[in-house]
Structure 1
Amino acid sequence: MNQGHPQSVVDATVQSLADRLRVLSAAAPRTIIGLCGAPGAGKSTLAAELVRELGPRLAVVVPMDGFHLANQVLRDLGLAGRKGAPETFDVHAYVATLRRLSERADPVVYVPEFRRELEESFASALAVPREVPLVITEGNYLLLDDGAWPKARAYLDEVWYLDVDERVRRERLVARHRRHGRSLDEASEWVARVDEPNAAVIAATAPAADLRVRFRDASAGRVGSAMPG
């Protein structure tokens, strides 16, 4: 585990990262790896590509986004306009789920899934069988040293921070919001008002990562291409 020392950024492909995961997962019955980064860094896309490379018998993804508070709860708390900030997640439920995944006491652990087209989470939507040795969990605040978030970090064997060109990342975010119904002006306003302040908080946690990765899409020959997650 990194103790906060500065790290160089490593260019990597899905294949090289998958090879690292194979080595890590061979050392224990269950290994939990975190993918961290700002909104639009490509976490969910990289996680999905790693599972495709490794196969579902070896790896499964548990997204932190599944632990978003429901929209009605956010409205009741006055947080609807800050969705995506640390306080808009049920971090205690996330920690409890990581504990269950780490302990492997249950034959299967069902976890929630966030469906972006509906902007809501659905309980027990994803299954993690006990025999799957590698869990990849991806989210914004895996390295946050505040509140209950360090309890989540304690269950992660490694956390990788995804670095990406800031202009590209912001363009992805605007495009994502537009795909889900916002106008260009609305999408740009949300990115500036909500996503970018969150991104600054997340970026400050990067030195605590075990590995800082600049993902290289080998098929396209350029860094971090076509990764909206």
Structure 2
Amino acid sequence: MQGAEALLSGVSTATFSSYITILLVDRSFRRQKKNRRKKMRSAALRQLEGDLVSHLNFLVNMYIAASEEHPDKIPETYDDLFTDEFFKTVQYLDFSKEYPTARDSRFIRWFDYAESHLNGFQNAIDQAISQYSMWLDPEVVETLQEIRGSTFSGMVITASETDMMQLDKEMGYEREYTVFFGYEEFVEEHTNALLALVQEYEKSQDVELTEVGDLNAWSEEIAPTAGTARRNPESVTRPNRQE
């Protein structure tokens, strides 16, 4: 009996030791996987950071160019930037106006600049999703897809790609090119998705996003300047929307 008890005791000890070993290995694996996910998540945010900051600057440029005068106070947070006042102002941006560029003397319109910028931003999002979707939380991927496929971007890109201004000219049709006049909700939907993405950067301990007050677009020495693409509100006709 003593031999049998000793044998059972040895088996129990070995089984317990094996169980502890399995737990330790599993815990180590889970820790490595968690660290790997965190590392890859940070890599995705870091890869997209430059394009996101460029897009935020683009939106501020829209706001300033459509404002009557340069803002006397810079928002402290991105939440403070994207307000009803922002949505109301950018609806007066006339995309047929000239967009200032220092790269060359070539004349380009806001339509041209916006299309190029938005296509580039969409491509950057596509690349980030393609490379890192398996490491990102589903909510983050959904936010990126929402930004990428926003009606905000679609309206501008479609109007520019179809060369609406040239078609109107050939047909002798006159219209305003304030794309978002009467469609402020599409601007708000887009910026709400952006705010959700900004929050991911704020939660990250490895990647810091440029603060709203540090965006280059706020400088009065950098074009576009206030009012340069603003349409007179009294001359804008509210679209006849069919829901």
Instruction: Specify if TM > 0.5.
Output: no
Q: Which has the larger radius of gyration?
A: 2
Quick check: which one's strand share is greater? 1
TM-score (norm 1): 0.27
TM-score (norm 2): 0.26
Quick check: which one's helix share is greater? 2
